[in-house]
Chain A
């Protein structure tokens, strides 16, 4: 290797040396390169960005939700000042009184629909492109679980404003669960926290909405994205190229399926 220029040495010292130091101890730089700088098929299009869009929508939901939690009070007790339930009073305060509260609540409320819509569009793209096929079956299954968790987020979040719509929609939702054979009545009573909705129901659903289900959702998203990174993006079905194959002939396959599974080889 040729002698490095002064300038190159300075860059090495200022940037690369600390990065190497971190990388040697954590593998963070190699990991970031592995995650971000991947080969993708030449003929991908905007259709392949729907998953990232859904992830962005989820991050917006997580951030706005965390901020809303600072002002929301999950209590069905009557506020003696307003004569209305405390939860509803706090929602009113977020919407009408707190600066920019209307915006953040609006982002969270409409973002919930955006998230679900993007999940379905992403799912439709994967289905129609056949991208769920070998070796990506488990990516599909974790994606379906993410969809279920997203639906549960919608179901539990809908109750929190504690207005008439929220209350009766949740009564109907709980009783819908109750009509499932055998386990249904038990599930309904678990969800309501008793034979009917009571004073424990709202805090319970709040905890489900902002702690338990998001925890599971985030874990599933990590598994999903790990699998996407490991297995790579598939070519569309009309592609003239074989999925994930290197363009240049220089990439010598080391096995029958080398190059098919991006990232599993030695590149």
Chain B
């Protein structure tokens, strides 16, 4: 390879002026703080020596523009003589230093990348699936739930997170079962088609609406429930009557503590036969709206996160 002038770098001639230029700039900045006279002096120094510096640097260029052959690259179609061919006879070492460096650079780079990426990926994904238990919701004294009448209960599932966790359930006191146990039908308001808020079909008794400890309670004469988004319709037990829902309305477990109704976990319902206290409910672990919990279609959703992480 010959050094035919084009490859030599264009080094500007030596010059002392940059130092003076720097002093001028420093003076200027200092002057901005101390006094405008110093600043002006600094500016003058900077301009003068900046000019001198520029003149020094561009001296070569100003004299004559040399005619430089444009750099070209061999076109692939014209075969170039491969200099490697001459060396082909010599036996090469099986594992050269450059190959070792290449492999170790790539390897170390990959290791660093993995060490950085994996925790970040974990942080991206895992918080959505861990530590997501919702508190139990206290709906207040039992006497607010008259027998055989639905009450629209609006409550905070997780008060520490605020209004964003406001949920609605339709609560019906079924009285006592044959064995003397208290019975409640507690339907979750989210449509099991795609999660819109289901509305009770019937007049709301606003006169008897009340708020107890932050829980809004509004009695309603509901014989069915309808979803405004895509026309899903459910009967009073939450069974699908019409429209696109794929199962019955989700329900919530309950417990009674010191005369107060406390909501527990959410679960999915395949079908309800019978009514009220005598209803037979086919219960499944909760799953996302729109997913089947029974029948052949349920095989499409073999593992649901809520069944793994609780």
Contacts and interface: CB of A to CB of B under 8 A. Distances in A.
Contacts of B77: 254-255
Given A13-B62, A182-B302, A189-B305, A171 B196 contact: yes
B141 interface: no
Main SS at interface, chain B: loop
Nearest to A1: B67
B288 A85 contact: no
A77 B288 contact: no
A64 B211 CA distance: 44
Contacts of A188: 288
Contact of B290 (A12, A76, A77, A179): A179
Nearest to A180: B300
Interface string A158-195: 00000000001001101110110110111011101111
A188 B158 CA distance: 20
B194 interface: yes
Contact of B288 (A17, A184, A200, A255): A184
A195 B132 contact: yes
B229 A172 contact: yes
B128 interface: yes
Interface in B143-201: 158, 161-165, 194-197
A194 B194 CA distance: 16
B15 interface: no
A181 B300 contact: yes
The winner among B132, B287, B290 for most chain A CB atoms within 10 A is: B290
A189 B197 CA distance: 19
B51 interface: no
B125 interface: yes
B306 interface: yes
A189 B129 contact: yes
Contacts of A184: 288, 291, 301
A26 B46 CA distance: 29
A12 B162 contact: no
B304 interface: yes
Contact of B127 (A168, A186, A200): A200
A257 to B, nearest CB: 11
Task: Give the interface size bracket for A toward B.
Answer: 35 or more
A1 B65 CA distance: 13
B42 interface: no
Contacts of A174: 195
A141 to B, nearest CB: 25
Contacts of B288: 175, 178-179, 184-185, 188-189
A190 B128 contact: yes
A265 B75 CA distance: 8
B195 A172 contact: yes
Nearest to B266: A195
Contact of A266 (B75, B125, B127): B75
A33 B301 CA distance: 55
A194 B132 contact: yes
B61 interface: yes
Nearest to A76: B164
Interface in B190-240: 194-197, 229
Contacts of A175: 194-195, 288-290
B125 A190 contact: yes
Contacts of A195: 132, 134, 286, 306
Closest 8 CB pairs between A and B?
A178-B288, A179-B290, A181-B300, A175-B194, A175-B195, A172-B194, A171-B195, A185-B304
Given A78-B162, A178-B290, A190-B128, 12 more contacts: A12-B65, A13-B62, A168-B197, A168-B229, A176-B290, A178-B289, A179-B288, A179-B290, A185-B305, A185-B306, A190-B125, A254-B75
Interface of A: 1, 9, 12-13, 17, 76-78, 85, 168, 171-172, 174-176, 178-179, 181-182, 184-186, 188-190, 192-201, 254-255, 265-266
Interface of B: 61-62, 65, 67, 75, 77, 125, 127-129, 132, 134, 158, 161-165, 194-197, 229, 286-291, 300-306
28 contacts: A9-B65, A76-B162, A77-B162, A78-B163, A85-B164, A168-B196, A178-B289, A178-B291, A179-B290, A181-B300, A182-B301, A182-B302, A184-B288, A184-B291, A185-B301, A186-B129, A189-B288, A189-B305, A190-B128, A190-B129, A193-B128, A195-B132, A195-B134, A197-B164, A198-B161, A198-B165, A254-B75, A254-B77
